[in-house]
Amino acid sequence: MKISKLIKDKKLAHKIFPYNVHDYQTINPKNNKFIKKYDTISHTKTTEILNKSQLSFENYRYTTLEDRFAKFKKLGDNLELNINKISEIISLEMGKPITQGIGEVRKCIGHINYYIKNTEQYVKNKNVDYEGFNNEIHYMPMGPILSINPWNFPFWVPFKSIIPSMFVGK
How many whole angstroms separate alpha carbon 136 and alpha carbon 114? 26
Q: Give the CATH number, domain containing residue 110.
A: 3.40.605.10
Residues 40, 81: one domain?
A: no
Answer with the one of 60, 79, 109 that is the final residue of a domain: 60
Number of folded domains that form the chain: 2
User: With contact defined as beta carbons under 8 Å apart, do 131 and 122 qualify?
Assistant: no
Pairing status of strand 126-130 against strand 34-39:
unpaired
Q: Are residues 50 and 95 in the same domain?
A: no
Task: Tell me, yes or no, whether 29 and 76 share the same domain.
Answer: no
Range of the domain at 16: 1-60
Per-residue pLDDT of the chain (170 residues; tens, 9 = 90+): 455 555 555 555 555 555 556 677 888 888 888 888 888 888 888 889 989 999 999 888 888 889 999 999 999 999 999 999 999 999 998 888 999 999 999 999 999 999 999 999 888 889 999 888 999 988 877 888 888 888 788 899 999 988 888 887 75
**Does one domain contain both 19 and 42?**
yes
